[in-house]
Amino acid sequence: MDSRVVYWDSSALVAALFNETNTDRARALARSAATHLISSLAWTEVHAVFARARRETVVTSAILDDAESALQFGPWTYLGAAPSRAVVRSVSLRWPLRGADLWHLALAITLHEDLPELCFATFDQALAQAAAGEGLTVP
């Protein structure tokens, strides 16, 4: 049994839901027996991707329907949590991250305090470097 708790950022979720460079790695992680967590921010960001793809007809409706279903019924547990304000402040001083990336990292660090087995799934290189620098395992 995989005892990891995996926090997924939006880049990792998109890779699991659509065919792209990191899809094989993301889907293998999603199939693992770990506990998979997604935040309200990741949920929102991925739905923005869905909506934009529909508007711009980047992929077929069938592919989008499958991706939406995979998000809804996949292994992910939805979190309505927010990062600690103190963690946001301190992490923002150490890493040059965009707002959403800072929020994801700060939430993962906040959760890691109670879940030491938590690791951070991202395919954003700057965010992965910051997560590793903060002591989070990046699968």
The string of pLDDT tens digits covering residues 66-84 is 999 999 999 999 999 999 9
Domains parsed from the chain with CATH numbers: 5-133 (3.40.50.1010)
pLDDT value at residue 1? 59
pLDDT band of residue 65 (cuts 50, 70, 90) is very high
Please give the pLDDT value at position 118.
95
**How many angstroms separate the CA atoms of 113 and 15, rounded?**
27
The radius of gyration computed from the CA coordinates of the chain, to the nearest angstrom, equals 15
Put simply, whether the predicted model's pTM sits higher than 0.75 gets the answer yes
* Residue given tokens 């879940």 in the structure block: 115
Report CA torsion sign: 88, 94, 98, 101: negative
Give residue-wise pLDDT tens across range 29-43: 999 988 999 999 999
CB atoms within 10 A of CB 23: 15
